[in-house]
């Protein structure tokens, strides 16, 4: 069974998780984390500092030893906010490649949110299986009918995602990372009042924008991920445990018993309310109890006047988190209050779990994650097509014929299996360029597709799809073309084969008013025969269009193309 490794290079820390596939699920083998503060100088000067780059490289070398010792088969390393903003990010990518041999992939905020959602809402890991809520109907997942808000507050950005029935309904990335805000507004210790006021104004403004898009009404649960959520959750739990222990000890003071009983009663009521709130929500194994909003605000305000040493002494926060917890706590408190949410629960799952789940989905067609991933990815393709005004009724026959050609000609083209998906996406998105201008729309399609946020597609994969959709006019793929510039040379001939099949699919659908043609495809040693069965309006235009592609087909595949009517 294959073993995967996921590396998350964040603005505050680097994380590693190694998992193996067992019975179509992921089983965690090893985890590691190192605080490197890669984004600290970026948010101030726009550049990665030598110290932060050195610390990150040192952490990656340690991760590399762990990866090698566990015989990892596939590695995916992604970088987030700091690398998105850094002007010297490409130089650091090259340094990482030279030192480790690994490719660093810089993902967008929306792709980051998608992967976090995938990791938290059922990644296939042994820690991520959903339990049934009390009273849930047997055989029905407890989270199936719930609207869940995911909040991942990292070092450079905060990703807020609305999930319904485990599907993303809306997601937004805002520049409210704990390291970013601390560097910009809170340079002193304790936090300066003027910087704190300006930071709160920025937080409120950005969250108002997010609220306009998310519309977080009727939320059944809020899940917080990453270090800030963990620290707040642990600090709340530690304080609650300490108060509970204190109130249950024999009262040796001269304080009136009534006062002590009142505190205990309040605590009991609080615990009861918290237990009730938790019992009504779907649970992830390993997820902490709910932290009420009023407790988050109380803790956030208590941290403001503290010195670094005092914050470090707060149980659950830790020495490195104490440096940035003031900003992170203020973001969480403002978000919960402004969105009118009762509280949040911390989940240890996150970006690296989503990376592993996607790796499983791409490798194991029998895994549940594969079916979910493929469905969501295709829905994203269709949503992108609609966004740019593509008529799906006209695009679908082209897609169907492209798939028929891909499968019937497999022995001839011998493309990797993933090209079936790239070709399918290109067939649906080939007319997106018309949204900008019909004149030269193939060129417009190329940069629209490559630049669009399509969930489940890496930048390279989007570039491949855009290149396949690009060459449907008079031009042909050439090595120096802009569309191929960021594609590895080994893929150029593969792209060309996919282009030919898409051109044939388009040729089969020239007369959009006619019935969809039925095609029989036969492959012979020296030729390929397409036999068309005309619809009610004939197929002469399609036959003429197909014959125009015969020379290009011969050039790419080395076989003659014969097209006839049945």
Predicted local confidence at residue 7, as pLDDT: 98
Least confident piece of the model among 161-165, 206-210, 495-499: 161-165
**Local confidence band at 513 (pLDDT 50, 70, 90 cut-offs):** low
User: What's the CA gap between 318 and 233, in Å, rounded?
Assistant: 13
Confidence of residue 64 (pLDDT cuts 50, 70, 90): very high
Burial 494-533 (b: 16+ CB within 10 A, else e): bbbbbbbbbbbbbbbbbeeebeebebeeeeeeeebebebe
pLDDT at residue 260 in the model: 36
Residues with Cβ < 8 Å from 368, sequence gap 6 or more? 24, 122, 124
- The pLDDT of residue 218 is 85
Place of tokens 């910009």: 184
Give the C-alpha distances (Å, rounded to integers) separating 57 from 63, 90, 449, 535. Answer: 10, 15, 33, 63
Q: Contact 210/269 with Cβ under 8 angstroms?
A: no
pLDDT band at 215 (very low <50, low <70, confident <90, very high): confident
Residue 32 pLDDT > 70, yes or no?
Answer: yes
- Least confident among 160-169, 279-288, 394-403, 434-443: 279-288
Q: How many CA atoms lie within 13 A of 378 on its CB side?
A: 13
Mean pLDDT of the 284-305 span: 86
pLDDT of 137 over the 70 cut: no
Alpha helix positions (H), 126-222 = 178-185, 193-214
Residue with tokens 């060309």: 496
Residues 6+ apart with CB under 8 A from 476: 496, 499, 552
What whole-number distance in Å separates Cα of residue 540 and Cα of residue 361? 43
List b or e across 89-101, with b for residues whose CB sees 16 or more CB atoms inside 10 angstroms: beebbebbeeebe
For residues 149 and 219, what is the distance between their CA atoms, to the nearest angstrom?
7
How far is residue 239 from each of residues 273, 292, 327, measured CA to CA in Å? Answer: 17, 13, 20
Examine the pLDDT at 329 and tell me if it is beyond 90.
yes
pLDDT higher at 374 or 501: 501
Q: CB pairs under 8 A, 24+ apart, for 211-218?
A: 211/338, 211/339, 213/170, 213/172, 214/149, 214/160, 214/162, 214/170, 214/172, 214/339, 215/162, 215/170, 216/149, 216/162, 216/339, 216/340, 216/341, 218/147
Pure H helices in 186-289: 193-214, 226-248, 257-279
pLDDT class of 130 with cuts at 50, 70, 90: very low
CATH architecture of 365-565: Orthogonal Bundle (1.10)
Among 111-115, 143-147, 386-390, top mean pLDDT goes to 386-390
- Residue 71 or 133, more confident: 71
- Residue 289: what pLDDT? 84
Average pLDDT over every residue of 195-209: 96
Percent of the chain with pLDDT over 70: 87
- Tell me the average pLDDT across 132-145: 35
Residue 554: what pLDDT? 96
Domain-wise residue ranges, the chain:
3-107, 129-348, 365-565
Contact 196, 202 (CB under 8 A): no
pLDDT at 551 over 70: yes
Per-residue model confidence (pLDDT) at position 220: 87
Q: Do domains 129-348 and 365-565 have the same CATH topology?
A: no
More confident residue, 239 or 490: 490
Given this model, what pLDDT does residue 486 score? 87
Identify which has the larger pLDDT, 525 or 369.
525
pLDDT in tens, 160-178: 999 988 888 899 999 999 9
**pLDDT for residue 244:** 65
pLDDT at 452 over 50: yes
pLDDT at 359 over 80: yes
pLDDT of residue 284: 46
Q: What is the pLDDT of residue 258?
A: 40
Query: Which pair of tokens denotes residue 124?
Result: 């296939």
477/445 Cα distance (integer angstroms)? 15
CA distances (Å), origin 551, targets 401, 560, 562: 20, 8, 11
When the pLDDT of each residue in the chain is averaged and rounded to a whole number, the result is 86
Q: What is the mean pLDDT of residues 445-465?
A: 91
pLDDT of residue 512: 56
Question: Which residue blocks in 414-514 are alpha helix, DSSP H?
Answer: 418-429, 441-451, 459-470, 492-507
Q: Please name which of 216, 236, 81 lies closest in space to residue 150, comparing C-alpha atoms.
A: 216
Q: How confident is the model at residue 480 (pLDDT cuts 50, 70, 90)?
A: confident
Residue 89 tokens, joined: 């990010």
Which range, of 89-98, 105-114, 151-160, 392-401, averages the lowest pLDDT? 105-114
Q: Does residue 144 carry a pLDDT above 50?
A: no
Q: How far apart are CA 264 and CA 267, in angstroms?
A: 5
Identify the residue with better confidence: 244 or 173: 173
Q: Which CATH number fits domain 3-107: 3.30.420.40, 3.40.50.970, 3.10.129.10, 3.40.120.10?
A: 3.30.420.40
Q: Which residue has the higher pLDDT, 242 or 435?
A: 435
Structural tokens at position 159 = 């990703």
The yes-or-no verdict on residue 249 having pLDDT over 70 is no
pLDDT above 70: residue 396: yes
Query: What pLDDT is recorded for position 261?
Result: 33
What pLDDT is recorded for position 286?
Answer: 56
CATH 3.30.420.150 holds for 129-348? yes
| Positive or negative torsion for Cα 242, 244, 248, 250 | positive
- pLDDT greater than 70 at residue 40: yes
SS3 451: helix
In degrees and rounded to multiples of 5, residue 88 shows phi and psi of -105, 25
- Spatial distance between the Cα atoms of 37 and 179, rounded to a whole number of angstroms: 8
Query: Does the pLDDT at position 145 exceed 50?
Result: no
- Place 535 in a pLDDT band, splitting at 50, 70 and 90: confident
Higher-pLDDT residue of 430, 239: 430
């Amino acid at each position: 069974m294959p073993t995967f490794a996921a590396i998350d290079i964040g603005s505050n820390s680097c994380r590693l998780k190694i998992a193996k596939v067992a019975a179509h699920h992921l089983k965690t083998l090893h985890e590691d984390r190192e605080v490197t503060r890669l984004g600290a100088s970026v948010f101030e000067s726009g550049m990665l500092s030598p110290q932060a780059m050195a610390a990150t490289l040192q952490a990656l070398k340690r991760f590399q030893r762990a990866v090698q010792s566990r015989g990892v088969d596939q590695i995916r390393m992604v970088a987030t906010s700091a690398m998105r903003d850094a002007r010297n990010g490409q130089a650091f990518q090259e340094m990482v490649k030279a030192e480790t041999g690994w490719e660093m992939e810089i993902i967008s905020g929306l792709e980051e949110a998608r992967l976090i959602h995938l990791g938290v809402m059922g990644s296939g890991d042994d820690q991520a299986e959903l339990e049934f809520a009390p009273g849930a109907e047997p055989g029905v997942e407890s989270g199936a009918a719930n609207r869940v808000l995911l909040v991942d507050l990292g070092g450079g950005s905060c990703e807020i995602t609305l999930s319904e029935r485990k599907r993303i309904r809306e997601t937004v990335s805002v520049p409210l990372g704990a390291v970013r805000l601390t560097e910009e507004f809170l340079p002193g210790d304790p936090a300066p009042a003027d910087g704190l006021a300006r930071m709160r104004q920025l937080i409120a403004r950005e969250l108002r924008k997010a609220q306009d898009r998310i519309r977080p009404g009727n939320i059944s649960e809020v899940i917080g991920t990453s270090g800030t959520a963990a620290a707040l959750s642990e600090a709340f739990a530690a304080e609650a445990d300490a108060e509970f222990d204190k109130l249950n000890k024999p009262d040796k003071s001269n304080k009136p018993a009534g006062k002590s009983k009142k505190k205990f009663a309040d605590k009991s009521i609080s615990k009861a309310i918290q237990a009730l709130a938790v019992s009504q929500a779907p649970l992830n194994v390993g997820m902490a109890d709910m932290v009420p909003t009023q407790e988050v605000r109380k803790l956030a305000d208590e941290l403001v006047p503290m010195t670094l040493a005092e914050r470090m002494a707060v149980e659950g926060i830790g020495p490195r988190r104490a440096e940035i917890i003031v900003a992170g706590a203020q973001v969480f408190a403002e978000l919960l209050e402004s969105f009118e949410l009762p509280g949040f629960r911390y989940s240890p799952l996150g970006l690296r779990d989503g990376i592993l789940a996607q790796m499983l989905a791409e490798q194991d067609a029998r895994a549940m994650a594969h079916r979910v991933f493929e469905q969501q990815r295709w829905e994203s393709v269709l949503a992108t097509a609609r966004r740019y005004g593509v008529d799906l009724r006209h695009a679908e026959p082209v897609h169907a014929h492209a798939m028929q050609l891909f499968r019937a000609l497999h022995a001839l083209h011998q493309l990797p299996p993933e090209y079936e998906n790239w070709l399918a996406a290109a067939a649906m998105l080939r007319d997106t360029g018309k949204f900008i201008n019909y004149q030269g729309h193939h060129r417009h399609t190329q940069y629209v597709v490559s630049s669009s946020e399509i969930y489940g597609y890496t930048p390279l994969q989007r570039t491949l799809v855009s290149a396949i959709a690009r060459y449907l006019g008079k031009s042909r793929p050439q090595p120096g073309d802009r569309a191929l510039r960021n594609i590895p040379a080994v893929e150029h001939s593969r792209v060309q084969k996919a282009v030919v099949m898409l051109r044939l699919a388009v040729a089969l659908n020239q007369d959009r008013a006619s019935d969809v043609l039925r095609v029989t495809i036969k492959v012979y040693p020296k030729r390929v025969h397409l036999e068309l069965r005309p619809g009610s309006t004939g197929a002469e235009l399609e036959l003429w269009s197909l014959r125009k592609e015969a020379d290009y087909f011969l050039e790419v595949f080395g076989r003659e193309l014969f097209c006839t009517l049945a």
